[in-house]
Amino acid sequence: MTDVKIQKFKQERPYAKPEAAARKLIEIARTLPVDKGRMCVGKWNDLVRAAGGSVDEYAAGRDQAIADGVIVMHECGGFVMSTPTGAAVSEPQ
């Protein structure tokens, strides 16, 4: 029997780290319409997925942005709102 080495290829995940996913969320937030200070979670999630992220990566990025004080979740769970810190971070450079 010959020794055959099998290589497994793993696709790189650009938003696997919560910090990277949070940065992408802030970038996307700059493009979203704001209604009464709120951004729709569904639209945000869709754009993260279109950029190559997964639902889990979106959630990790969202949680990181909340922990960093950049956004807060609306009590209904369907919207996020920028904080004063988030407004400063999300301003176009």
Q: Residue 9 and residue 11: Cα distance in Å, rounded?
A: 7
The DSSP string of 25-79 is HHHHHTTS--BTTEEEHHHHHHHHHHTT--HHHHHHHHHHHHHTTSEEE-TTSSE
User: Mind listing the pLDDT tens digit for each residue in 26-42?
Assistant: 888 888 888 888 889 88
- pTM for this entry: 0.76
User: Mind listing the pLDDT tens digit for each residue in 5-64?
Assistant: 666 656 778 888 999 999 998 888 888 888 888 889 888 888 888 988 899 998 999 999
Sketch out the chain's domains with CATH numbers: 18-90 (1.10.10)
